[in-house]
Amino acid sequence: MDEFSLNFPGGKKVEVIYGNHVVMTDQPLENGGDDHAMAPFDLFMASLISCSGIFALSFLRKRDLNTEGLNIRMYPMWNEEEHRVTEIKMEVDTPADFPEKYKGALIKVIEQCSVKRHLGNPPEFSININ
C-alpha cells in the first residue's frame, strides 16, 4: 500500500510526504496561518482541476491536435450555510483550430477525471488511533 505521511514544520503548516515528493500546505492569515502555501482544501480543489487538465491534454495529444491555448478555469461555488462547495463550474478554452466535432467528447473525457470520479463514488474511510 502506498503511504502518505506528515511533518508539522511550525505554525499551521503541514508537509505531506509521498514517495520522493513533499507538498506544503498552510492556513490563510484569517485562520491563523502564514498563507505561505495552499490550504488543504485548496490543494484538494487544485487536484481536481489538474486532473481535468491532464485528461484534456491527453485527449488532444492522442489525436495529434494542437494544444496551444488549451486552458481550464474552475469556479467552486461555496455554500456558506452548508459550509461546503455545492457546485463546481469549469470553463474550457480550446485551441483556435479545435474541431467542433470533438467538443462533446472532450467534455466526456474531462468528466472521467479520476479525482472527479472519486467524488461521485467516495471511498470508505477507516481511521485507527495508535
Does the residue 72 lie in any domain? yes
Are residue 33 and residue 46 in the same domain, yes or no?
A: no
Does the residue 129 lie in any domain? no
The secondary structure of residue 113, as a DSSP letter, is: -
Does the residue 130 lie in any domain? no
The count of structural domains within the chain is 2
Cα distance between residue 27 and residue 127, in whole Å: 24
Are residue 56 and residue 116 in the same domain, yes or no?
A: yes
Whole-prediction pTM: 0.87
- Sequential pLDDT tens for the chain (130 residues): 689 999 999 999 999 999 999 999 999 999 999 999 999 999 999 999 999 999 999 999 999 999 999 999 999 999 999 999 999 999 999 999 999 999 999 999 999 999 999 999 999 999 999 9
